[in-house]
Amino acid sequence: LNLYNSNLLIEIITKTIGKLTLNNVSGIERNEIFWHMVDVGNKNFLLGVGYGSGRSTDLYSSIYATVGGIGLIVLIAYFFNLFIRGLKLKKEQKRRTLFCLGAIIISSCAVPDLCYTYIWVILANIESLKIDENINLINTTTNGADGISHFLM
């Protein structure tokens, strides 16, 4: 695979733009499935039709249809919470958190399920940054073991 091949690069860009502008079959089908799942979510707004009973081409409409507005709000609130907490971390950890969160948000436009392992690996990576930050803060303010026991209480 030669990424410097201009014909290949042009073809990739053309196909991507075709999907986004609904000029090819894949883009049209994804759009129809998305709006169908949004309609299912609107008809079953609070709790959805049940997790696993429907599958879309993206995470957001799939969550909305299967676990309802409550589930979608919880998911968005969790992502927002990670974003806000990420802004409070040190510079390197902040960049890592925001990159990982961006990767999840972007990839979830094409991956419809929470059961894909990479989502949980990335979320664990983000959560571990906050735990490391807490432990470092406790160790510097309380001198070691007392800080850890205080953290665990």
Q: 82-103: per-residue pLDDT in tens?
A: 888 888 888 888 888 888 888 8
* pLDDT at position 21 over 80: no
Distance CA 131, CA 58 (A): 30
- Give CA 126 to chain center in angstroms: 12
Q: 98-145: per-residue pLDDT in tens?
A: 888 888 888 887 777 777 777 888 888 888 876 656 555 555 555 555
Helix (H) or strand (E) holding 94: helix 91-107
Contact 22, 35 (CB under 8 A): no
Question: What is residue 49's DSSP assignment?
Answer: S
pLDDT, average across residues 13-27: 73
Q: Find the helix packing angle between 145-152 and 117-142, rounded to 10°.
A: 130
